[in-house]
Structure 1
Amino acid sequence: MSRSPRTNRAEMERRAEEPATSPVREQPPTTVSGWPIEPLDPPDDRNGRGGESDDRYPGQYPFTRGIHASMYRGRLWTMRQFAGFGTPRQTNERFKFLLGKGQTGLSTAFDLPTLMGLDSDHPRAAGEVGRLGVAVDTLDDMRVLFDGIDLESTSVSLTINAPAIVLMAFYLAAAQERGFDFRKLRGTIQNDILKEFHAQNEFVFPPEPSVRLVCDVIEFCAGHVPQWNPVSISGYHIREAGSTAAQELAFTLADGFHYVEQCLARGLAVDAFAPRLSFFFNAHNDLFEEVAKYRAARGLWAEAMRYRYGATDEASWKLRFHAQTAGCSLQAQQPELNLIRVAYQALAAVLGGCQSLHTNSMDETLALPSEHAVTLALRTQQVLAYETGVTNTADPLGGSDFVEALARAMQHDARGYFDRIASVGGMIPAIEAGFFRREIADAAFAYQREVDAKRKLIVGLNAFVEADEKPMETLTVDDRVERDQIATLRATRGRVDAGELRRCLGEVRRAAAMSQNLVGPLLQAAHARASVGEMMDALADVFGRYEPKSA
């Protein structure tokens, strides 16, 4: 139900004190010295806003101050550490290790072959199986990956893009075979192919059919998996490629607008799918710039959803986002300093109002995170949540002249980018013209020039360098992982009903050619034990494979 955006202070204070959904915080909201903290503190009128302006309260349109009235005073963000390496069994053990350490959600990293839609025995997968994430080839792997984990009570994130619809089919089929109810599954699949064309390059099909697959997942989840976020519209990788904060903001929201427009074009009602769209932003080094970015993003999204796309459900206006600390800021030199960087970046994400958070491990620039390093990364979030007091009041930085001015500047720059994208014909023409890549490359070059000239200092890299550093012990993946995974895949193939597999893959091709939603046919193919590579090949028979034009 929609409501008026204006609410008086008494009503907002009442909402801020209402119990939140689990997990509810039990600690009293006081300072270390015992001073009680009010649920919220509206800005004064120094900026001339006066009265009960629309942006004075958290949980109120345009949600600049946060999407919930109580924010973390009632419920903390989800602590969701990214994890995945080796075989599904090894990653399942890491998942259980993290849950045992107090993590509150799971986030799955897949290896490069899986990300590219290749089976582990494909020639191009050689040397990469299980190296930078977990290898998943079939539904049986997905079942092992989440063995012993209650998928109805645990929120799960799947970081996958080009083959996202295939991995979603595996996940749903695994849940189905274990007797879980689709309507009770909670989690997120990244499924944001546009940012792959901008920055990360893990695409398989051309842009238009790739976006169609994203929208197929959105449409299917809206009807059948209502608590699932079918896309995580991702600025993180755009920033990792070297963009500015304003570019990350603008390009991410532009991607989101394109998905909305494509879903509307296929006849979906905006309020049927928009409440489950989610976002994924970088948490970089400049604390106040990052906080301003998140505030600006909420305002721009709320405005567009309400007025441009006509959403009337308040949930459609709310930009919900996961944050991850900046991998590109981690340094191999003096890697223990990465703990400090990550803590400040996490602080920015929390002060900016994130709904879930991953904190990078100090050794991630060197190797996959060790158990010791990943525990410290999780403990960083726990110290922030329980010891610093930043969770005791909603939006503690609201009303800061500096932060508000930065947020307005961010919004101005983002609107300028929206206009430039429109001027070249919209999202797909802009991708094909190389617009996003050029903008990001220019920003990355400008930043690196500042670092090289020491006009921007990076501790341990171009300032305060240690001459004699001791190497850090790191996690390694045994070569046996690849052999074991290939053996498992071949054993699964040996049990497949070849006729049923051909029939299911033929149905995938037919549905792709007929513009039918592909989740259902892929779900059946998953049950028939089709592999990632076999499903992607079937789709490629219809869509073709994408080779970008050279710039």
Structure 2
Amino acid sequence: MFTKDLLDKSSQLRKKWEDEVRRVIEKNPDQKERWTTVSDLEINRIYGPEDIKDMDFEKDIGYPGQFPYLRGCQTTGYRGRYWTYRMFAGMGDAEETNKRWHYLVKSGQTGLSTAFDYPTLMGYDTDSPKARGECGKCGVAIDTQEDFMKLVEGMPLDEITTSMTINPPATILWAMYLAAADIKGIPLTKIGGTIQNDMLKEFIAQKTFMLPPEPSVKLITDTVEFGTKYVPRWNTISISGYHIREAGSTAVQELAFTLRDGMEYVEDAMKRDGLEVDAFAPRLSFFFNSHIDFFEEIAKLRAARRIWAKAMRDRYKAKSERSLWMRFHTQTAGCSLTAQQPYNNVVRTATEALAAVLGGTNSLHTNSLDEVLCLPSDHAVQIALRTQQIIAEETGAANTMDPLAGSYFVEALTNKVEEEAWEYIEKIDDMGGMISAIEKHFPQMEIADAAFKYQQQIDSGEKVMIGINKYESDEDPPIPLVEIDDVVEENQINRLNEVKRKRDNRKVAECLKDIKSACENNKNVMPYCIEAVKSLCTVQEICDVYREVYGEYRDPGMF
């Protein structure tokens, strides 16, 4: 990157600067000695050419749309179009969430995104004894195809993409979306969106699981195969680091575990007869957390693209350029929000969103200031959405691609994050892959240790969180709380009972029998799930078949 003369001159100037620094420190011996990122990566006092002297511009940096895609996959970046504004929405019943969707689209949102309530996430219907008291509290309640039709009422499914945060029952909720398109007369080739569908990170971090790891991955590969053949615009998995970071991981751990999860899915899909890597890899997508350390997050997102491109080309011999692209959604960090002084959360979210944009995200969710307290209000959601729009259209951040490229600090930090992530990936390779590593509790324990260390640093004041361990205040402004009335559950159960009363229960039994047979004979379950939801089988009825055939997973716990 640099000539010998320039490096020699820089070294001379740096020595002169270091001598001056020593004199300043001697006069001010109480200066803080160790500076780190929020993940505890040590940061030098200054960076210069020496810190990136071994980089090769063509091989390591390049231009947007060129290998190794460090600077972005799209040749024109945000000048082509802005990232997708994709605000999370899910509350109460399907009708209530549909109203929020319409409100957000009217306010300028460009992609739909929905959260499901805990019963739906865990594969239970609202009338299950295990579901009582949870209906609609942290997302939308969906039991049957009739609920789903209310959810998408008035939405142009062939014109807008939809992201669904669903994992154990992903095959079923995706089947409902496909059935909804079919009922509306929209070809499956015309719809686009994403299902999260990432079970490995559930075992690592979020813990909403249903089946053991191997059958969980089998169902994911079923969706990859079906989407590749019949729904070419759909991302059948969003390989998610977000929840790994929310569980307390460092930025390096988030990056390494997420990408190694992705590699595990690629390896499983490549075992399917007739499923070539270049057929499905372009539709894999990722989901990252944008935490509060501005430069660390930018470096992480840049490094992510470079690692993935290298892995797809060198490990899996992908030939298509699009197979090497890492396309990802980003969400600002929920774990950085505080209940104390909640309006500080607006500033945190704006900073994190800007880091995601400068890191080259393809779509973005900005958290609302009240999310740490309750479901977000319309007012808070609008502020969060306006944050994205101001970054896009007022700040100039979108004017040029990867504007921090070439920064001594950013390039050095990107290299450091990548190097440490590869060390984790190779360690997991040596364990036999991610499923084996999960069974050994390796990623879980690494995250637990990182979370404990960070909390110790907050408690001691080594790391600062405004309003928590510095600049505390006893006077917090009142925040209106959005709450879901218990009548929502009563009404949802009544609707479910009505569906069960009017449907053809003989047809339901046949559909469930077909799904069981598909599971037992290692067939792709997706065609059978689509037929089942059209026949008004419920989410739990189908999940109960999965549980019967594959068994239920119980977290063994570890200390």
Matched, 1:69 2:94: no
Whether contact under 8 Å (1:54, 1:60) holds in the other structure is no
Query: By how many angstroms is 1:307 displaced?
Result: 1.2
User: What's the counterpart of residue 133 of structure 2?
Assistant: 127
Give the match's secondary structure for 2:87: strand
User: What's the counterpart of residue 475 of structure 1?
Assistant: 482
Whether contact under 8 Å (2:346, 2:384) holds in the other structure is yes
Whether contact under 8 Å (1:432, 1:549) holds in the other structure is no
User: What's the counterpart of residue 45 of structure 2?
Assistant: none
Q: What amino acid does structure 1 have at the position aligned with 2:551?
A: G
Which residue, out of 495, 499, 502, partners 1:495?
502
Give the match's secondary structure for 1:280: strand
Taking the TM superposition and a 5 Å limit, the aligned residue runs for 1:57-456 are 57-267=63-273, 268-456=275-463
Give the match's secondary structure for 1:157: strand
Query: By how many angstroms is 1:424 displaced?
Result: 2.1
Query: By how many angstroms is 1:89 displaced?
Result: 0.2
Q: Which has the larger radius of gyration?
A: 2
User: What's the counterpart of residue 527 of structure 2?
Assistant: 520
Cα RMSD, aligned residues only: 1.3
Give the match's secondary structure for 2:330: strand
User: What's the counterpart of residue 514 of structure 2?
Assistant: 507
Q: What amino acid does structure 1 have at the position aligned with 2:264?
A: H
Query: By how many angstroms is 1:54 displaced?
Result: 5.8
Whether contact under 8 Å (1:155, 1:185) holds in the other structure is yes
Show structure 1 runs of 5+ residues with no match.
1-42
- Cα distance in 2 for residues equivalent to 1:535 and 1:134: 19
Query: By how many angstroms is 1:55 displaced?
Result: 2.5
Whether contact under 8 Å (1:185, 1:228) holds in the other structure is yes
What TM-score does the superposition give when structure 1 sets the normalisation length? 0.91
Which whole-Å deviations, capped at 9, do the CAs of 1:258-303 have from their partners, x for residues lacking one? 0000000113100000000000000000010000001111001000
The percent identity for this pair of structures is: 53
Show structure 2 runs of 5+ residues with no match.
1-48
Query: By how many angstroms is 1:532 displaced?
Result: 0.3
Query: By how many angstroms is 1:175 displaced?
Result: 1.1
User: What's the counterpart of residue 34 of structure 1?
Assistant: none
Query: By how many angstroms is 1:70 displaced?
Result: 1.1
Q: What amino acid does structure 2 have at the position aligned with 1:127?
A: G
- Cα distance in 2 for residues equivalent to 1:52 and 1:484: 61
Q: What amino acid does structure 2 have at the position aligned with 1:178?
A: K
Q: What amino acid does structure 2 have at the position aligned with 1:86?
A: G
- Cα distance in 2 for residues equivalent to 1:535 and 1:498: 14
Matched, 1:459 2:469: no
User: What's the counterpart of residue 13 of structure 2?
Assistant: none
Query: By how many angstroms is 1:56 displaced?
Result: 2.0
Whether contact under 8 Å (2:52, 2:408) holds in the other structure is no
Which residue, out of 528, 531, 534, partners 2:541?
534
Whether contact under 8 Å (1:285, 1:344) holds in the other structure is yes
- Cα distance in 1 for residues equivalent to 2:52 and 2:152: 53
Q: What amino acid does structure 1 have at the position aligned with 2:95?
A: R
Query: By how many angstroms is 1:51 displaced?
Result: 7.2
Distance 1:452 1:494, change over 3 A: same
Query: By how many angstroms is 1:47 displaced?
Result: 4.1
Paired positions, count: 508
Give the match's secondary structure for 1:369: coil
Distance 1:51 1:321, change over 3 A: closer
- Cα distance in 2 for residues equivalent to 1:374 and 1:93: 13
- Cα distance in 1 for residues equivalent to 2:357 and 2:207: 30
Give the match's secondary structure for 1:197: helix
Query: By how many angstroms is 1:423 displaced?
Result: 2.3
Moved more, 346-355 or 56-65: 56-65
- Cα distance in 2 for residues equivalent to 1:456 and 1:430: 31
- Cα distance in 2 for residues equivalent to 1:472 and 1:289: 31
Q: What amino acid does structure 2 have at the position aligned with 1:435?
A: F
Which whole-Å deviations, capped at 9, do the CAs of 1:124-157 have from their partners, x for residues lacking one? 1111000000000011111100001110001100
Distance 1:513 1:370, change over 3 A: same
